[in-house]
Amino acid sequence: MRAVVVLPGRGGEGPPVTDRHAGPMLWVVDRPLVQHVCEALALRGVGAVDWVYPRAAEAARRLLGGGERWGLQFRHHAAAGKNPYEVAATLTAAWLDRPVLFGHADRLVELAAVRSDPTTTVLYGSRGADDRWAWNGWALLSETDARRFPQQATGFDHLARLLAAGRSAWAEAADGPAPRCLPSYLAATRAALATGGADAHVPASVRVHPTARLVGPVHLGADVEVGPGAVVGPFVAVGPNSVVDRGAVLANAVVLPDTYVGPGLVLDGGLVDRHRVVTTGPDGRPVFHNGAAAGSLTDHRLGRWGAAAGRATSAVIGVVRRLIAGPVRLTERAAPAAVPMLTNDEPAAEPAVVS
């Protein structure tokens, strides 16, 4: 089977979760979402994938390469100012006499092994409380629909209506990782962490202070440092080369790579990406906190030898911010009730891990 997959840019369907990564490149636990997509395609028996970019996306192209690492064959197509669905239509029509899997790389559904009548397109989705189907962005196109893909679609919702208007069947498919909005991104992270059980994933290169607490499930990337009295977890993923400093408390949160979490930051339900903390507002839209105690490690061109200087600089910035703006507290609770904060620096035999 062949697949045609569109990689949306940063614009998407609303305010981005972060301005540093387009949706497909946003990390889900330990790797970008597009890697999860590649693994799912390989498991579903896809042999070759045509990737469609709305504009140049060199980071994604470098990551994907020719597909060899997943046992797949990749081809890359830049829309170059065109509607990406117009390019996708050309590609789906080129594969005659066979179904084509079509999808979006900024969302992933559990693609069940549904085999349709060759004359019927299968749309993957979920049924709402009103008994209406909502398309999740993936479809197994029939031979006929692959040849007449709706290239005139002006966006995701328009494409969903056009596909559903044809001779289509629906297949229930659970949502997988999808950074379309912060709540779904955090939910996807929780689901991915839950598959690993209640443990803490701590590589050998991670340094955790003896008075810090890791409350599983937690995933720490390579070269992460957790400072004195910090509480990390439950349901927290910290990207590589990041620092969670003294007394910070994180739960139900994501820290993207190369990010400094300053001392005393308390966050239950949100994202930290370099200088910005993102939480969810009452209307479900992201709220950006640019004055929180967070910073970028790569801004200082840090390697492992320069990390201490970078942390010191960022810590000073965080202290100044707190003196100006008051205590940084983005949640009403100070720490998970079952995990008391340790405030002294007396070393223990080993860092405490609570599962």
Which CATH number belongs to the domain containing residue 151 in this structure?
3.90.550.10
* Digit-coded pLDDT (tens) for 219-251: 999 999 999 999 999 999 999 999 999 999 999
Q: Which of 172, 204, 234 delimits the end of a domain?
A: 172
Q: 78-117 burial, b if ≥16 CB within 10 A, otherwise e? A: bbeeeebbebbbebbeebeeebbbbbbbbbbbebeeeeee
Residues 61 and 167 in one domain: yes
Residues 101 and 202 in one domain: no
Residues 163 and 21 in one domain: yes
Per-residue pLDDT, 171: 82
Looking at the chain, the whole-number percentage of residues with pLDDT higher than 90 is 24
Residues 137 and 239 in one domain: no
Question: How many structural domains is the chain composed of?
Answer: 2
Q: Which of 172, 205, 226 delimits the end of a domain?
A: 172
Out of 75-89, 111-125, 126-140, 220-234, which region has the weakest mean confidence (pLDDT)? 111-125
- Distance between CA atoms of residues 86 and 52, nearest Å: 10
Burial class (CB in 10 A: 0-12, 13-18, 19+), 31: middle
Residues 264 and 333 in one domain: yes
β-sheet bridge partners, residue 12: none
Is the predicted pLDDT of residue 132 greater than 60, yes or no?
yes
Per-residue pLDDT, 230: 96
Give the model's confidence band at 82: pLDDT under 50 very low, under 70 low, under 90 confident, else very high: confident
Per-residue pLDDT, 183: 81
Residues 149 and 189 in one domain: no
- Distance between CA atoms of residues 87 and 53, nearest Å: 9
Write phi, then psi, for 139 (nearest 5 degrees). Answer: -150, 145
Residues 66 and 129 in one domain: yes
Per-residue pLDDT, 273: 86
**Bigger pLDDT: 62 vs 342:** 62
Residues 80 and 124 in one domain: yes
Residues 189 and 255 in one domain: yes
Number of CB atoms found within 10 A of residue 213's CB: 25
Residues 71 and 102 in one domain: yes
Per the CB < 8 A criterion, the answer to whether 202 and 186 are in contact is no
Residue 230 lies in a domain: yes
Per-residue pLDDT, 61: 82
Candidate ranges 56-70, 85-99, 212-226; pick with highest mean pLDDT? 212-226
Residue 207 lies in a domain: yes
Residues 210 and 313 in one domain: yes
* Distances 207 to 199, 240, 350 between C-alpha atoms, Å: 17, 12, 11
What's the whole-model pTM score? 0.70
- Distance between CA atoms of residues 286 and 15, nearest Å: 7
- Tell me which residue range forms the domain holding 39: 2-172
Q: Which of 142, 172, 202 delimits the end of a domain?
A: 172
* Digit-coded pLDDT (tens) for 10-56: 444 444 566 566 667 777 888 888 888 898 888 888 889 999 987 65
